[in-house]
Structure 1
């Protein structure tokens, strides 16, 4: 056994050296790839939401948050779990931008019925569609005013209305925007009373929003139960690890413990998705 100890030390040193060399080679490439992803994907989503924020700040915030997560979790958790949490925190900017996008879309859809009725009133008063868009952009709050202002700017540059509305639907891929786009384009092609159509569409969207609010209120308890059930195993496991670290560390160091963690993760994920599917009701 003593004669084997130098070989074990040499093997450990060689493995650690290879790990450091791989990190030195792959680290800069991984960082550059992450920066390109942030510039292309996250930066594009920010610009689509009229948010002027350089992606370099998001990259810096992501790395700072990853470092803080490692500093906090390394003394408390096994290093594979701490490193995994640190790497997972790099996805925080994308999740934050997705949350901002969803919230902005929800706010815009809530403002759309009032804007449609204001646009219909403007058409009845004798204004054309472009002047109606301009009035909506001036009198409606953000974020709807920003979208209509962008429509006016592109029309003044000579673009046709159809690709402008297509881009609007691409940025805000909701059924309400699709109905608004179809109402305007079909009326322009075949004719009709656009003011009455917009009035009817606004009333329909307002009734639909009321039904969605009622559904959200009725399913709020189920959604909260799903979140609690998903976080409960993690909280209990963390408390047990703080109380019995030697016993709980076997979950991360033994094959049986890792298999058990895998089964728990899969079952928790399936249960969470099941609950979300149950409480998600399309109106």
Structure 2
């Protein structure tokens, strides 16, 4: 049924107001938030010694969003699926940066015993701790090498080595670095036996690493059970739908089915959280 002239005028005016809102209010606000997120990701990566300017991060996110949205639109012919796929890179960029930072942190902590072993050997040979650190940095693997180079740079710029190590401990924020830095900060001004301290700290860290690996091997079965219990209900629902094609319509189209799905989802989340809490035991 066609529109009358007044109705068409109202429709055009409403469309113009909506377009004006998106162009003047919604889009600039979204653009500002997008650029702010790109700057934040760039700053977080700079702390990990990965130099990516915000403009490059924004360009990568835009290209990824365009490619995914186009692929989803071509595959599903659905605007909603295309919009969701296009928003995915922007929404999950922060999770990807956090995953990279946690992965790099675990790598650095696993390299601490090697650092202490090298430092102990140089100090035992008669060098000072600062000289030993300068000679050790080129021998370290990537990860801990950049961190110790940062500490050494702070020391060369005038910061005492004990304070530079304290700043590094605050930057990493882990029990392993505290085990290394805090006794060393007390031993440097007091003239303690640094070689013995480094050796003891190295042995403690290696014991902690072996204990952590043992815990992971002992909890591997529980992690597998958590994965199986999480995937079992969707797989069971898909299998039943193959046998009974009316299963999903009845499940999603009735109040009782929706209630069952909500309760099942809540129980799944509670079970997953409980298993994660049980498996989060640290040595």
Same fold (TM over 0.5): yes
Taking a change above 3 Å as real, the CA distance of residues 266 and 49 of structure 1, as seen in their structure-2 partners, is: same
Taking a change above 3 Å as real, the CA distance of residues 235 and 57 of structure 1, as seen in their structure-2 partners, is: farther
Gaps of 5+ in 2: none
Taking a change above 3 Å as real, the CA distance of residues 198 and 100 of structure 1, as seen in their structure-2 partners, is: same
Question: Which of the two has higher C-alpha Rg?
Answer: 2
1:104-119 aligned within 5 A? 104-119=104-119
1:120-269 aligned within 5 A? 120-231=120-231, 263-269=263-269
Computed over aligned residues only, the root mean square deviation of the Cα atoms, in angstroms, reads 4.2
* Cα distance in 2 for residues equivalent to 1:10 and 1:246: 46
Q: Does 1:64 align with 2:73?
A: no
In the TM superposition, what is the alpha-carbon distance from 1:187 to its structure 2 partner? 0.8
- What is the TM-score of this pair, normalised by structure 2? 0.79
Native 8 Å contact 2:117 2:199 kept in 1: yes
- Matched position secondary structure for 1:142: coil
Native 8 Å contact 1:187 1:193 kept in 2: yes
Moved more, 264-273 or 48-57: 264-273
* Cα distance in 1 for residues equivalent to 2:181 and 2:91: 34
Q: Which has the higher contact order (CA 8 A, sep 6+)?
A: 1
* Cα distance in 2 for residues equivalent to 1:16 and 1:77: 24
Match of 1:278 in 2: 278
Match of 1:95 in 2: 95
- What is the TM-score of this pair, normalised by structure 1? 0.79
* Cα distance in 2 for residues equivalent to 1:29 and 1:133: 48
* Cα distance in 1 for residues equivalent to 2:115 and 2:83: 49
Moved more, 249-258 or 185-194: 249-258
* Cα distance in 2 for residues equivalent to 1:228 and 1:44: 38
Taking a change above 3 Å as real, the CA distance of residues 42 and 261 of structure 1, as seen in their structure-2 partners, is: farther
Taking a change above 3 Å as real, the CA distance of residues 64 and 7 of structure 1, as seen in their structure-2 partners, is: farther
Count residues with an aligned counterpart.
Answer: 281
Moved more, 7-16 or 259-268: 7-16
